[in-house]
Amino acid sequence: MAESSKTGLTEGEAREIHSLLIQGWAFSVFASMGAHILVWLWRPLVYGNQIVPPDWRFF
């Protein structure tokens, strides 16, 4: 009989859940980074020497 912890999971089950959590976290981090890059390409916050467009106040 497999020995379980306080959570009732075996070590193999705990490792499987941990790997799924880490994969989900990594996916969310990279998806967030991609979304931020797309927003930066659409409307950068720093325009260099240019004047900020007049419609900036709406965003």
On the CB side of 56, how many CA atoms lie within 13 Å of its CA? Answer: 10
Predicted confidence at residue 17, as pLDDT, reads 96
On the CB side of 35, how many CA atoms lie within 13 Å of its CA? Answer: 6
Per the structure block, which two tokens stand in for 9? 């999971």
Predicted confidence at residue 21, as pLDDT, reads 97
- Among the residues of 1-59, which ranges form H helices? 11-42
Predicted confidence at residue 55, as pLDDT, reads 64
Predicted confidence at residue 18, as pLDDT, reads 96
pLDDT tens, position by position, 24-59: 999 999 999 999 999 888 877 766 666 666 666 555
pTM of the predicted structure, to 2 decimals: 0.63
